[in-house]
Amino acid sequence: MTLMLASSGSALSGPVTLGDVALSVSLVAVAVAISAWQRLGLEADMTVATVRSFVQLIAVGYILSYIFNGHGWLTVLAVAVMVGVASLTSRSRAKRVPWSGAIALAAIATATVATLGVLAVLRIVPTSARAIIPLGSMIISGAMNTTSLVMSRLRDDFASNRREIEARLSLAQTSRQASRPWLRSALRSGMLPSVDSTKVVGLVALPGAMTGMILAGASPLAAVRVQLVVMYMLLGGTAFAALVAGHLTTGRLFTDSHQLVKSVRRVP
Amino acid sequence: MALEPRFEYRDVRVNGDGGPIVTGFCAVIPPEGLTVIVGPSGAGKTTLLRLLNRLDDPDDGVVLFEGRDVRQYDALELRRRVQLVGQTPVTFPGTVADNVGGDTGALLARVGLDPSLAAREADRLSVGEAQRMALARSLALAPEVLALDEPTSALDVVNKAGIEQLVRELADSGLTVVMVSHDPRHAELADHVIEVHPLNREEP
């Protein structure tokens, strides 16, 4: 095995070869064996996941090295594709919210542009593909999870609390006023995971960016600085995504006349 | 009729998931006294009531409020003037005074509650008290119409009689009161009765 941690520092003693990757599949074989032994029924899923991850990541690797080799204009395209795929995924998680695809696109795009924009304008990170694409992917996946959560949570909360919401509407409150308690709790639940992981970072888990840098031979302090930027960026991105998704979703679940839309009223 | 009707349903149809809940519905609600919309469950009574303050809109036909389509009013303005109180009382977080607002003491007295309840947490009220508090909260907005959805259905016999008497008093005080009920006895309380019948379909 080439993958060994040197005793003097935290760095791989050489690049991981495809042969090494093949050897690491032995760990998947162990997982598949456990699944078969315990009758978990996950063997097929695990095999598919292993093959998929291999194909997807190798493809991404080639695409990234192509982009990094001076095709900088592809950076924007790559980020746009990621935002698009994330929006489609988020839409499928909140199908019962009208216009969920458009809401997800607005929320994830806003989070991505605003967060990367701040990092770039303040010159915290270089505007090169090497910085923008990995950071972008982290913001986008964080924003995607938050957006899905906020959209589906709002819809479910409105449906299950429609008696109270309609009591508020009947007292001549606007739809914004009547929905405020549930909007607040949806925004909180959309942001809490990133707040919590920011709190316990380093205590519970060494985050991915930092682990990767340390494995690649960077000094722990340099890795920590990058990780701090990543955490704060994720907090900001999540907040943007939650806010945009929350307000747009609320707007779509009420009519202009401050009525809950039929799909929310009629579903038990 | 000498007076212009407060409300008029004109050929109203409301669709449910499996077909119309009401269709071709026509009726008039006069400005004075108590109008009871009576009929078995599943006849669309609640739906008809919800059209009055626009929690719901008809799929066909119109509902007129003082001669104008309810959709021509600002929805919030309409709801201030037409107060709808639901079947089971909703209490908001906080005290009774937080819920009712305005001159809480006088409003509580008007609905037959002890004004000293003002300081109590609203979620500690009994169902009967909460129903009266919900009425007081609506009266705080000085509405012209009270639309009540089965206001006694969640109550025991004693509380039922109390609310029925209160509804009668409110109607006599000059408010237009519209009450939906599946209890045929309530037709006897009424100045005007609108009977509704279920359509030939299963009501969810």
In this predicted model, what pLDDT tens digit does every residue of B116-166 receive, in sequence order? Answer: 999 999 999 999 999 999 999 999 999 999 999 999 988 899 889 999 999
Q: Sketch the domain layout of chain A as residue ranges.
A: 13-69, 73-266
Cβ–Cβ contact A265 with B under 8 A? yes
Res B94 pLDDT > 80:
yes
Query: Which H, E and C letters describe chain A, residue by residue?
Result: CCCCECCCCCEECCCCCHHHHHHHHHHHHHHHHHHHHCCCCCHHHHHHHHHHHHHHHHHHHHHHHHHHCCCCHHHHHHHHHHHHHHHHHHHHHCCCCCCHHHHHHHHHHHHHHHHHHHHHHCCCCCCCHHHHHHHHHHHHHHHHHHHHHHHHHHHHHHHHCHHHHHHHHHCCCCHHHHHHHHHHHHHHHHHHHHHHHHHCECCCECCHHHHHHHHECCCHHHHHHHHHHHHHHHHHHHHHHHHHHHHHHHHHHECCCCCECHHHHHCC
Taking residues A230-235, report their average pLDDT: 93
Tens digits of per-residue pLDDT, B6-62? Answer: 999 999 999 988 889 999 999 999 999 999 999 998 899 999 999 999 999 999 999
Across A9-23, A137-151, B37-51, least confident range: A9-23
Q: Which of B17, B84, B92 sits opposite A170 (nearest CB)?
A: B84
Cβ–Cβ contact B119 with A under 8 A? no
Res B87 pLDDT > 60:
yes
Q: The whole model's pTM is what?
A: 0.86
Candidates B63, B90, B138: best to mutate against A (most CBs of A within 10 A) is: B90
Q: How confident is the model at residue A186 (pLDDT cuts 50, 70, 90)?
A: very high
Res A207 pLDDT > 70:
yes
Domains and CATH numbers, chain B: 31-51+74-195 (3.40.50.300)
Candidates A160, A161, A170: best to mutate against B (most CBs of B within 10 A) is: A170
Cβ–Cβ contact B151 with A under 8 A? no
Is the Cβ pair A163, B88 closer than 8 Å? yes
Task: State the average pLDDT for chain A.
Answer: 90
Is the Cβ pair B79, A163 closer than 8 Å? no
B88 vs A contacts (CB less than 8 Å): 163
pLDDT for A57:
93
Cβ–Cβ contact B123 with A under 8 A? no
Q: How confident is the model at residue A13 (pLDDT cuts 50, 70, 90)?
A: low
Taking residues A92-116, report their average pLDDT: 96
* ipTM of the prediction: 0.94
Q: Which of residues 155-214 of A touch B (CB under 8 A)?
A: 163-164, 166-174
Closest CA of chain A from B73, distance in Å: 10
CATH number for A73-266 (one of 1.20.1640, 3.30.230, 1.10.8, 1.10.760): it is 1.20.1640
